[in-house]
Amino acid sequence: MNYLETNISVQPMAIPCITPRFKANYKKHFEKPDIPTIPELMAAATLILHFISFLSLHYIVATTLFLSFIPMLIHSSTLDSDIEVLRTVKHSVDSRSISSDSFLDTWDFRVDPCGSTGRHFLGVLCSIPLDHSPSRIIAIDLDDVGYDGFLTPSIGNLTELTILNLSKNKFRRTIPESISNLTKLTKLSLADNCLAGTIPTEITLLKNLEYLDMSGNTLSGSIPTNISRLRNLSYLRMARNALTGTIPDLTGLWQLETLDLSYNQLYGNLPYFPLRLTTLSLNDNILTGHISPVNMLSNLSRLDLSHNLLSGIIGKEILSFPRLVYLNVSNNQFNAIEAANFSMEERQLHFLDAENNNLHGLLPVNLTTIQNLTAINLSRNEFAGPIPREFGNKIEQSWRILYLDNNFLSGDLPTEFITHSKRITGSLANNCLKCPVHIKLCRGGQRPASECIR
């Protein structure tokens, strides 16, 4: 017997901690089992099939109950009256102007507007109720594809609406008075349509409005006198209409930052304006008088008063506005322009247009102290005398546009007008200057001597 045989004894395998019942099962599994008969196998198969059927039935019932419970978990039903308004909005648009890839084409009323996926009811936003109440339409923001129709009066039934944007389409007729029911509106844009008639005074009841744009229509009549009730307005545009009358008192709109009433037929003197204005566009009207009410608007970055009948002095206060970038006072009847010396102060003014006024005297040399100024148009006025040498220095440095044509300027050109003429756009034509014909700025000739005796 070798070492392994003497030190290892093979013992029978013991199965510890087995109860008598388990022993019986153990014996049954490890001993040769009895083979079941055919009837026993068939009975077992039948029993298994019944069990599977039982599970399938309960699965169907459970699934049905779960699906029926989903609306209670995720409420997507739209208020019936809101659905009817959407239906009317779509029906008020000529179907021939609804292209296949437009928002209105996705308004399929076979599905719930507020319960549909992103493929349906584009441009419509719904509220999410915290209880089991119906969802409401809170925004309609249509695409600008040229919808041709009218603004249905039933729009006033969408009383939860906060945004209504129908801009850049072809909506016609008048603005319905029922729009006054939309008291939760914060943004109303009807710009660039074909709306006619007057601006309904009821619009001044929309106290939550922050953004109002009615520009680019054919609206007539006057601006509602009590529009200053809209205390939350920060943006107001009524440009490119046929509005008449005077500009009403707007000082109550103390949050207003953008005001555009250009391209109308407004007349009378300028009123006082809200001090927070950053953009003021009143060009292309029939406004008269002085511009002193503008002198206090020190937050302005853009001011356009062109194409009116304004007169008097363009005061130094305006050119002193620290944020002013764009100033256009062309085509008026101003007779003087004042410019302070800003050599020790930085100003943002880039563009100055005072063309076609009655400005006279010497050219304002202090314009050269406005560091950021690059474009100046003083043409079609009555300036006389020589061109300041400082103007030549600015051509060499930063001025890129300079129009001084159609004045009565005289004398020799500063040297820089000759040596740097290729880097500047402008004109010196129709003056009384000694202007070499080969210089680009001198093209167009000068006045005859008879016109230069003043």
Model confidence over 128-183: pLDDT tens digits?
Answer: 888 878 899 999 999 999 999 999 999 999 999 999 999 999 999 999 999 999 99
Q: How far is residue 222's CA from residue 188's CA, in Å, rounded to a whole number?
A: 19
For the chain, give percent helix, strand, coil, nearest 5.
25, 20, 50
Query: Which residue, chain included where needed, has tokens 């130094």?
Result: 316
Q: Provide the residue range defining the domain that includes 368.
A: 290-454
Q: Is 60 within the bounds of a domain?
A: no
How many folded domains does the chain comprise? 1
Cα 310 to Cα 35, 127, 128, 227: the distances in Å are: 116, 50, 53, 25
Of 308, 363, 323, which Cα lies nearest the Cα of 339? 363
Q: Is 294 within the bounds of a domain?
A: yes
Q: Is 35 within the bounds of a domain?
A: no
The per-residue pLDDT string of the chain (454 residues; one tens digit each, 9 = 90 and over) reads: 433 333 333 333 333 333 333 333 333 333 344 455 555 545 555 555 554 454 444 443 343 333 333 333 344 589 999 999 999 999 999 999 999 999 999 999 999 999 887 789 999 999 988 887 889 999 999 999 999 999 999 999 999 999 999 999 999 999 999 999 999 999 999 999 999 999 999 999 999 999 999 999 999 999 999 999 999 999 999 999 999 999 999 999 999 999 999 999 999 999 999 999 999 999 999 999 999 999 999 999 999 999 999 999 999 999 999 999 999 999 999 999 999 999 888 899 999 999 999 999 999 999 999 999 999 999 999 999 999 999 999 998 999 999 999 999 999 999 999 998 888 999 999 999 999 988 999 999 999 999 997 6
Q: Is 6 within the bounds of a domain?
A: no
Q: Is 129 within the bounds of a domain?
A: no
- Phi–psi pair at 231, nearest 5 degrees: -65, -20
- Phi–psi pair at 436, nearest 5 degrees: -55, 135
> Which residues, including other chains, have CB under 8 Å from residue 80's CB and lie 6 or more apart?
134
Q: Is 279 within the bounds of a domain?
A: no
CATH at residue 329 = 3.80.10.10
